[in-house]
Amino acid sequence: MQHILWQLVLVCACSISALSVAQPLPQSAQALSLDQQALHVANRLGYGATPELVRQIKRMGVGHYLDQQLRPKTPTDTALQARLAAAGIRAKDPQQQLYQLAQLYPTTKDPQLISSNAVLRQQWVKQQLADVRRAKLIRAVYSEHQLQAVLTDFWMNHFNVHAQHPIVVSLLSDYECCAIQPHVLGSFEQMLLATAKHPVMSQYLNNRTSVKNSTDAQGRVRGMNENYAREVMELHTLGVNGGYQQTDVKALATLLTGWSFNPKGGQSGASLFVFDPKRHDAQPVTFLGRKLGGQGVQDGEAALKYLAQHPSTARFIAFKLAQYFVADQPPQRLVTDLTQRYLNSRGDLHVVMQTLVYSPEFWDKRYVATKFKTPFEYVVSSVRLIGVDLPNQDGLNQYLQQMGMLSYGRPTPDGYPVIEAEWRSPAALNQRLDFAQKLGHLKIRLNTEAPRATVSKPPLAAEHVLAQIPTLLHPRSAQTIRQAPVALQWPLLLSTPELMYR
């Protein structure tokens, strides 16, 4: 009997310890009702509210939902994977992707074969890009790990690449799922190294061609390319005012010579990164006041690790996160707090994000619903709110292209802007209103051959959504929607000023 009682005690003790105690929200959150808190979390830490998500947040408690998003218990979103599979989008071996692409570049000089291969290559690349753009929209609209989806896109934008070169397009999916996504709530240092070694970044910013200065047998001069070295300091780490000089750019380019990949592909599962010691300039250099060189591949790794831990990098990352999640002009105290947490944790992005979402500034009523949505955020949040299943995502990408924010379409390495001044204009608002009318009437174009889509009916009428998310609109706006004819309610709802902000 005593043995049974001890077993019961142990079971109870384990059950109690398994229950997580959510971190209390800051005092500033008390100025918001529970409905307002749930909507704020859905909008800022995800791609917008749905009635089901708002109910989930309120049922779980805001603190527990935050903890679940910051550290998902199930790393794999099985429902999302099922949707991707249903859309015909599956993981592709990157080495095989490079191999398939290489086969579309014939070695023959036959003009007819060259022409036919060029057409096949164009079609193949177009299909790869369509798949990765569809996958991005599916993840944003349907993922249960909404914070992870937002952070993946945030860091993809931070380490921006342009989907123009066939090699970049063929490996975009691998770049996103292997170099970015695993680290969005992990180590910034590891994400920086992963992007630096990935063929997508190497091709996009020309580090693949960066070798020690030499002259070949034909008298052609080959040498360093400083593109990546400059951008990695200006855009990825220190920031434009981070304290580096042109001499540091040249030094970093020297340390990163010989970093490349095999464009013809190789054995499945093998590392994509290739270091060629013969093309590496091993001479010692002074980089940001530190002597480096002579250690091969470790030269570049040491430099990037130093950049990742630099105080200027901490400030730059802190500012960008605060700007995206809180305000276009973020409070200085929040930036300072995030900077210190970054430095103390050596760039642990989970710690930094936890500090941000539990900060008084994140919950300050002055900053709630004040972030103007980018075109991507507006389109995705509208689809999530109306709750329809689209046959495919091509129509949405057409609108994103018209709005100037087609995924992977930013040609410059600085990524798309995230502040209101860059996206709010009369022309841009007219484009959003046109999209709202089309989506609200379920008339989204899929492609030039199919002018209209056959989409499912919204699961809820607009007035029922307003009832379930009572803080979604200002009372006057909500009343206007309810008084409108049923056929106009969704178009009007998606056109409201409140839906333009998060």
DSSP per position, 379-397:
HHHHHHHHTPPPS-SHHHH
What would the pLDDT profile of 447-466 be if each residue is shown by its tens digit? 444 445 556 789 899 999 99
| pLDDT over threshold 90, residue 318 | yes
What would the pLDDT profile of 103-150 be if each residue is shown by its tens digit? 999 888 888 888 888 999 999 999 999 999 999 999 999 999 999 999
Q: Let me know whether 99 and 61 are in one domain.
A: no
Pairing of strands 259-261, 290-292: unpaired
pLDDT at 78: 85
Domain stops at, among 70, 96, 119:
70
Q: Let me know whether 97 and 201 are in one domain.
A: yes
Residue 61 lies in a domain: yes
Q: Let me know whether 395 and 446 are in one domain.
A: yes
pLDDT at 448: 41
CA–chain centroid gap for 206, Å, is 22
Q: Let me know whether 110 and 247 are in one domain.
A: yes
Cα first-last separation, the chain: 59
Residue 118: what are its φ and ψ, rounded to 5°? Answer: -65, -40
Q: Let me know whether 232 and 185 are in one domain.
A: yes
**Helices (DSSP H) in 216-274: which residue ranges?**
227-231, 246-255
Q: Let me know whether 51 and 98 are in one domain.
A: no
Query: Rounded to 5 degrees, what angle do the CA atoms 135, 436, 400 make?
Result: 40
The string of DSSP codes covering 31-50 is GS-HHHHHHHHHHHSSS---
Domain stops at, among 41, 70, 99:
70
Q: Let me know whether 58 and 162 are in one domain.
A: no
What would the pLDDT profile of 360-410 be if each residue is shown by its tens digit? 999 999 999 999 999 999 999 999 999 988 766 788 999 999 999 999 999
Q: Let me know whether 93 and 161 are in one domain.
A: yes
pLDDT at 103: 94
Residue 367 lies in a domain: no
pLDDT at 7: 43
Average the pLDDT over each of 76-80, 355-359, 472-476 and give the range with the smallest value: 76-80
Average the pLDDT over each of 17-31, 218-232, 260-274, 325-339 and give the range with the smallest value: 17-31
Q: Let me know whether 163 and 254 are in one domain.
A: yes
Q: In terms of C-beta density within 10 A (0-12 exposed, 13-18 middle, 19 or more buried), how is residue 402 classed?
A: middle
Residue 365 lies in a domain: no
Q: Let me know whether 131 and 271 are in one domain.
A: yes
Residue 470 lies in a domain: yes
Domain extent, residue 13, equals: 2-70
Average pLDDT over residues 266-275: 94
Domain stops at, among 262, 292, 308:
308
Q: How confident is the model at residue 6 (pLDDT cuts 50, 70, 90)?
A: very low
Residue 469 lies in a domain: yes
Long-range contacts for 333-342 (Cβ within 8 Å, ≥24 apart)? 333/361, 334/359, 334/361, 334/362, 339/311, 339/314, 339/315, 340/314, 342/188, 342/314, 342/317, 342/318
pLDDT at 414: 97
Q: Let me know whether 66 and 133 are in one domain.
A: no
What would the pLDDT profile of 224-261 be if each residue is shown by its tens digit? 999 999 999 999 999 999 999 999 999 999 999 999 99
| pLDDT over threshold 80, residue 8 | no
Q: Let me know whether 150 and 31 are in one domain.
A: no
The string of DSSP codes covering 309-360 is T-HHHHHHHHHHHHHHHT-SS--HHHHHHHHHHHHHTTSBHHHHHHHHHTSH
Residue 133 lies in a domain: yes
Residue 257 lies in a domain: yes
Whole-number Å distance between alpha carbons of 275 and 51: 51
Q: How confident is the model at residue 213 (pLDDT cuts 50, 70, 90)?
A: confident
pTM (two decimals): 0.93
pLDDT at 391: 67
What percent of the chain is modeled with pLDDT above 70?
Answer: 92
DSSP helix/strand/coil, 441: coil
Number of structural domains, the chain? 3
| pLDDT over threshold 50, residue 222 | yes
Residue 249 lies in a domain: yes
